[in-house]
């Protein structure tokens, strides 16, 4: 099984955009994404790199599986 590793915020944002999430606002140094049908927004800090625990929490919020995450990650490289 592949391990989730820290990645740049631009790449993480691209992953959520590929999954249908839309950037609705930038608040300070955080990007806020929403998706119809999802209650909670996904918040991505503009950190390089974004820490693993933030990626994992956002995947859980977005209901994206590890397998799907790695598929999308391959598409962004």
pTM of the model: 0.92
Nearest CA-CA partner of 43 in 66, 25, 64: 25
Kindly report the backbone phi and psi dihedral angles of residue 14, in degrees, each rounded to the nearest multiple of 5, phi listed first: -60, -40
HSE (side-chain half, CA atoms, 13 Å) at 31: 19
**Confidence band (pLDDT; 50, 70, 90) for 2?**
confident
What CATH number was assigned to the domain covering residues 9-76? 3.30.920.30
DSSP state of 50: B
For 11-24, what is the mean pLDDT?
A: 97
Domain positions in the chain: 9-76
- The whole-angstrom separation of Cα 46 and Cα 65 is 23
For 50-56, what is the mean pLDDT?
A: 97
């Amino acid at each position: 099984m592949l391990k989730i590793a820290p990645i740049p915020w631009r790449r993480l944002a691209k992953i959520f955009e590929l999954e249908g999430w839309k950037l609705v606002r930038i608040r300070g140094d955080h990007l806020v994404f929403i998706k119809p049908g999802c209650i909670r927004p996904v918040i991505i800090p503009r950190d390089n790199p974004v820490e693993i625990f933030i990626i994992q929490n956002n995947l859980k919020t977005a209901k994206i599986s590890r397998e799907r995450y790695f598929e999308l990650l391959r598409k962004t490289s």
